[in-house]
Amino acid sequence: MTISDTVIEVEKLWTRRGGLTIHRDLNLRIARGEIVGIVGGSGSGKTTLLRVIIGLDAPAQGRVRLFGVDPLRARRAARLRVQRRFGTLFQNGALFSALSVFENVAFPLRELKYLDESLIRDLVMLKLGLVQIEPQHAAKMPAELSGGMSKRVALARAMALDPELLVLDEPTAGLDPDRSRGFVKLVKTLSHEYALTVFMVTHDLDTLTTLATRIAVLAEGRIVANGPLAEVQHSDHPFAASFFGKTEPLLHSD
Amino acid sequence: MTPASVQLQTRESGERVITLAGDWTLASLRSSVARVWKTLKAVAADPRLTWDLRRIGALDSTGALLIWRAWGERRRADALLRPEHEQILRRVAAVPPVERARWRADWLAPIVFLGRQEAKFASHALGFVALIGFLVLDALYLFTRPQRIPWREISATIYKAGALALPVTALVGFLIGVVLSYLTADTLRAYGAELYIINLLGMSIIRELGPLLVAILLAGRSGAAMTAQIGVMRVTEEIDAMATLGISPTLRLVLPKAIGLALAMPLVSIWSTAAALAGGAAAANLQLGISPQFFFESLPKAVPAANIWIASVKAFSFGAVIALIACHYGLRAKPNTESVSSSITNAVVAAITMVILLDAVYAILFRSVGFP
């Protein structure tokens, strides 16, 4: 396998949903080690873009490559190999409600079929330790967890296979500012430690400023601004201007 | 991705060095994890071994865990490793040890199991009584405020559980009528009692099979749907949201379903009974040469009208019981998918069992009513 520096590559992407064109000719490239945040107004197609990238939705036109492979066109084995190289954190955690915290994290490891039970047990406890979940919570069911905890367990599950790429959909949605700051710090630590590439969709400016090395602004179905925070902030696109302009005073008041 | 490798060599000074190289990751260990672990374990016992990990390319938690175990779960101070791998090993060191639960034979287990089952049954009975209590309170409340009666929900239930079930109940009824007629025709002919097929079919279908068949069909069809709906509403906390909005979930969800199904059931039962009689008459015409006209003319003489009333009373109560049991199980579902699915199963089984039990009670109650 060649070590390519491009992790995500979106080329001339068009997406349509129910007669509505969501993305027109969208191009995006994310290199290894980057932490990229996508921002955009409600309904601008951020989450759809994320779903297309991880292969849950099919684009109408154009192509998406993950680690150099188009997951929708690859053969089953190749697709599976790609799927094991990234972990996804869904907006509401999407934990399996019928499985305990431990089983949720163990699930992807068990599916590999080549690890023995004691190794799986230690790996799960390791991942739960990474996200600061104490061992006594391992037997709990997802319904018994607080919002912040279930987010962290979902992160542990996303990290279960030691992915190279972490995909986050609104990582701090539904968390109070304190928890959300803690969660962002956690993601930052982990991404440094494991040299992760992170692709995230977020509304939260705090998350963007602490985490993202690059910000892409999605509007009118395209990426209208793309670069580090300082650069994007001064973009002259109306959405970017209002998004960063309006929230700027809040930053100073911190 | 280079595969993980282990190399053991003895230097001239007599020092033994173990060199690990390649990628030690979950993906690269895919086919070799058992073999690598065996090699490591074989040499791990030697405390004088020098570990050289500097040639490891990528290291993730799985690889680090294997090495950590080979070290006897303690840090080898003399191990040579790259600084960026230090932190990964430190994470592995933080894994809490397994607390081994010792398995002991528990001779009281069967008794505990029985006790648990009994407690569960008692809690179900209590919950069901409480549900009926709430419904009585709701009914009293509606009596004082008739404008709050959930007409829309009642009519929706009648439509969904009644009108939409008409095709399937007609089909099943018709086929059962045909089967019954065919099965009895030969025996009756042997005794020269062909005409009694009208009594036989009329009595069994109108009084017994019509309501029972529809009850079993609707317990599976509408009962399951009710449990699923309420169960999912519990998972998504919609029931709680409803309660905080000042809307009684029993009034809005349970009461209209119980009333709706109780009203729809006798009608569907009569419909299905008619289909079954049509099926029976058709088969009797083919098998025994009894014309449908004669069949339906003799029916009122063979089966007194009281039987239709008995059947309707039965169907009414079956409908109420099915809806109540379905809602009861739905409200008890725990907020996870597994619990919702087992609630649906239990609701359908309990509803059908209760219906048959009730049917037996009616058979005893009405044993001297409705016979010619």
Contact with chain B for residue A4, Cβ under 8 A = no
Q: Are A96 and B92 an interchain contact pair (Cβ–Cβ within 8 Å)? A: no
Residues of B in contact with A161 (CB under 8 A): 26
* Contact A114/B at CB under 8 A: yes
Query: What is the percent of chain B with per-residue pLDDT over 90, rounded to a whole number?
Result: 59
B343 touches chain A (CB under 8 A): no
Of A2-16, A152-166, B185-199, B347-361, which gets the smallest average pLDDT?
A2-16
Q: What's the mean pLDDT when you consider all of chain B? A: 90
Which band of pLDDT confidence, cut at 50, 70 and 90, is reported for residue A254? Answer: very low
Contacts of B335 in chain A (CB under 8 A): 97, 143
Domains, chain A: 1-85+200-254 (3.40.50.300)
pLDDT value at position B255?
94
| Average pLDDT estimate for A157-182 | 88
Domains of chain B in start order, with CATH, are 5-93 (3.30.750.24), 118-365 (no CATH)
- Pick from A98, A135, A193: CB nearest B87: A193
Q: Is the pLDDT of residue A252 over 50?
A: no
Average pLDDT value for residue range B84-108:
80
pLDDT in tens, A205-229: 888 888 888 999 888 888 888 888 8
Residue A2: its pLDDT value, please? 43
Between chain A and chain B, how many beta carbons pairs sit less than 8 Å apart?
67
Dist CA B267 CA B258 (whole Å)? 15
Using the Cβ of A132 and the Cβ atoms of chain B, whether some distance falls under 8 Å is answered with: no
Q: Which of B29, B31, B95 is the closest to A122 by Cβ?
A: B95
End-to-end alpha-carbon separation of chain A, Å?
47
pLDDT category at B279 given cuts 50, 70, 90 is: very high
A56 lies within 8 A of chain B by CB: no
CA B128 and chain centroid, separation: 18
The distance of A85 to chain B (nearest Cα, Å) reads 9
How far does CA A88 lie from the centroid of its chain? 6
Task: Give the pLDDT confidence of A26-72 residue by residue, as tens digits.
Answer: 999 999 889 999 988 888 888 889 989 988 888 888 889 888 888 88
Percent of chain B with pLDDT over 70: 99
